Amino acid sequence: MSKPAVALAIPAYNEADGIGEFLLEIDDALKSSVSALTIVIVDDASSDDTVDVVTAAAEKMIATVDLVRASRNRGHGPTLIEAYQRALMAGADVVLQVDGDGQFLGADLRRLLVLLEDGAESVCGVRRFRYDPWVRMVMTRALRTYINASFGIPTRDANCPLRGYRSALLAELLPSVPADSLVPNLYLTILASKRGSTMVEVDVSHRVRRGASATGTTWAGPRRTIVPWRLLRFASRALAESRRFRSSLKRDEPPGSPAR
């Protein structure tokens, strides 16, 4: 069988410490399994040297690196959506996705690719042993319960930022995700399940964030608290947004569909 063309979507924000190493690992893991590899990195107006580090790493890679820098910081959700859109524009057979913080292994991207080649339309990683602050792990467990109760989907890690899609499916689903979404991967999981596509969940390795800081700058605030206030505010906004998304799905359901 011919090897697939692959595009990888990566949102990044202040990842200068670790993204270079991660990109080289990804390039090495995938280069023998693909006919072409395009890595799309959308930098969310980082205030560190992320862009310079990516540029330097690209010179050492076999993959084609498409680096886009946003003019202003928009947050992870809109940055991820743009990365997906640009990855689809590469014309690849498969689109993979991972965040730029390097908390996964390049080898697991290859595992996802094998599953997609074997017939899965979408694949989502499951972080069984996480190296994250306790509050984020608690939120993931709560999200699992919420998605099952509100959307009828018994997924184990619905918002995991290590996943892959056949390009045709992603192109079908992505327009239904609001452009300013806080949690677009969550909605893609829901939409794929509602569509009835073949979705595979696979246990993947998880590690501490690459670089000097194990937590990064996304949830950092002006003062230390047991639970970062930015994370709490984000979770509250995401919950309200997900309820609006659920309402929009119900409006679009044909008459006679089972109630959720």
Please state the domain extents for the chain.
Answer: 5-252
From residue 50, how far is each of 11, 70, 103, 244 by CA, in Å?
11, 12, 16, 34
The reported pLDDT for the residue numbered 58 is 98
Of the candidates 27, 83, 33, the one whose C-alpha atom is nearest the C-alpha of residue 59 is: 27
The reported pLDDT for the residue numbered 214 is 53
Task: Pinpoint the alpha helices (H) of 31-95.
Answer: 50-58, 76-89
User: Please, what is the average pLDDT of the chain?
Assistant: 90
- Residue 224 pLDDT class (50, 70, 90 cuts): low
Tokens encoding 58 = 């690209």
Strand 94-98 relative to strand 162-166: parallel, antiparallel, unpaired? antiparallel
pLDDT at 257 over 70: no
How many angstroms from the chain centroid is the CA of residue 4? 20
- Spatial distance between the Cα atoms of 29 and 105, rounded to a whole number of angstroms: 9
**Which sign does the torsion angle of CA 118, 124, 128, 133 carry?**
positive
pLDDT in tens, 231-240: 888 889 999 9
pTM confidence score = 0.89
Which fold does the domain 5-252 belong to in CATH? Spore Coat Polysaccharide Biosynthesis Protein SpsA; Chain A (3.90.550)
DSSP state of 164: E
Q: Is 38 in contact with 87 (CB distance < 8 Å)?
A: yes
Q: Is 103 in contact with 131 (CB distance < 8 Å)?
A: yes
Q: What is the DSSP string of 115-130?
A: HHHTT-SEEEEEESS-
Find the mean pLDDT for residues 13-24: 96
Find the mean pLDDT for residues 144-159: 91
- Residue 227 pLDDT class (50, 70, 90 cuts): low
Of how many residues is the chain composed? Answer: 260
pLDDT at 216 over 70: no
pLDDT at 189 over 50: yes
